[in-house]
C-alpha cells in the first residue's frame, strides 16, 4: 500500500484514482473545484479543495509524507508547471506530471518532474499498433527498442515446437507465455507443438518482432 497525492481531479486522474483505490492505496486528492472533488470521493481516502500553486496551502499538505505525487492539471499548463516545481521544493519524493503536448515534457522535467506521461498520445500509439496487424491481440511497450506482444503465431510455426524453431537463438525472441482460453500459461513444455491459431506472449527487439512475426508497426 502506498500513500499517493493526486493534484487535479479530471478524467485521467479519476481513472488513475479508481485503479489506485482498487490496489488498496491511500489517496489524497487536491483540486480547486468542489464539483470535481465530489465526483471522486468514492475512490479517495481524503480530499482538499484549494490552489496547488499556493505555497502556504501546499505546505500544510505534508507533501514529503507521500510515496508518490501525481500532477494531472490538463487544462492549465502554467499551473501544472508551478505545482510540479512547488512539490519538489517541498520535498516530494517522486513526481509524475501529465502532459498534453510533447513540448511540455522539457519544461516539466526541468521543473522537477521525475516522470512525464502523455495519456492521449500513449493510447493513440497503443491503438494504432494494436490494430496495425490482424494477428496482434495486445501490445506492451518496453523502454528501448523492445516490445512485448500478445500475438497469433505465424502459419509457418504450426506443427513445430519452440525447440524445433530454435526461437531464442535464431530469432532472438523470448516466449514469455502461451495464451489459452483460461489465460496465460507460463509453465509449458518447449517440445509441445504449436497449433493453428495459437497465441503467445513474446518479448523481443522491435526489428526481430517485425522480421519473424510479420508485425507492421
Q: Which of 125, 124, 127, 137 is nearest to 213 (CA)?
A: 137
pLDDT tens sequence across 1-26: 899 999 999 999 999 999 999 999 99
More confident of the two residues 45 and 102: 45
Q: pTM for this structure?
A: 0.69
Predicted pLDDT at 25 = 95
Window from 59-63, 133-137, 196-200 with minimum mean pLDDT = 133-137
pLDDT tens sequence across 76-115: 889 999 999 999 999 999 999 998 777 788 889 888 899 9
More confident of the two residues 90 and 131: 90
CA 209 to chain centre: 21
In degrees and rounded to multiples of 5, residue 179 shows phi and psi of -105, 120
Predicted pLDDT at 24 = 94
More confident of the two residues 103 and 73: 73
pLDDT band at 74 (very low <50, low <70, confident <90, very high): confident
Q: How high is the mean pLDDT of the chain?
A: 91
pLDDT band at 164 (very low <50, low <70, confident <90, very high): very high
pLDDT tens sequence across 22-43: 999 999 999 999 999 999 999 9
Please state, in angstroms and as integers, the Cα–Cα distance from residue 94 to each residue in 21, 31, 47, 91, 104, following that order. 19, 19, 20, 9, 18
Amino acid at each position: 500500500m502506498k500513500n499517493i497525492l493526486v493534484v487535479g481531479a479530471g478524467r485521467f486522474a479519476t481513472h488513475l484514482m479508481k485503479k489506485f483505490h482498487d490496489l488498496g492505496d491511500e489517496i489524497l486528492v487536491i483540486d480547486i473545484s468542489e464539483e470535481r472533488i465530489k465526483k471522486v470521493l468514492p475512490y479517495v481516502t481524503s480530499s482538499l479543495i484549494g490552489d496547488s500553486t499556493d505555497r502556504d496551502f501546499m505546505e500544510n499538505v505534508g507533501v514529503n509524507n507521500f510515496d508518490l505525487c501525481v500532477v494531472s492539471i490538463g487544462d492549465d499548463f502554467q499551473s501544472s508547471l508551478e505545482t510540479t516545481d512547488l512539490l519538489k521544493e517541498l520535498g516530494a519524493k517522486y513526481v509524475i506530471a501529465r502532459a498534453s503536448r510533447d513540448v511540455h515534457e522539457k519544461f516539466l522535467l526541468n521543473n522537477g518532474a521525475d516522470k512525464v506521461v502523455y495519456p492521449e498520445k500513449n493510447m493513440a500509439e497503443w491503438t494504432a499498433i494494436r490494430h496495425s496487424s490482424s494477428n496482434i491481440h495486445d501490445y506492451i511497450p518496453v523502454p528501448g527498442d523492445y516490445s512485448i506482444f500478445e500475438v497469433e503465431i505465424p502459419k509457418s510455426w504450426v506443427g513445430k515446437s519452440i525447440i524445433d524453431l530454435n526461437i531464442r537463438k535464431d530469432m532472438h525472441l523470448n516466449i514469455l507465455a502461451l495464451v489459452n482460453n483460461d489465460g496465460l500459461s507460463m509453465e509449458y513444455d518447449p517440445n509441445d507443438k504449436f497449433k493453428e491459431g495459437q497465441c503467445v506472449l513474446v518479448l523481443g527487439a522491435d526489428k526481430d518482432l517485425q522480421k519473424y512475426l510479420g508485425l507492421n508497426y
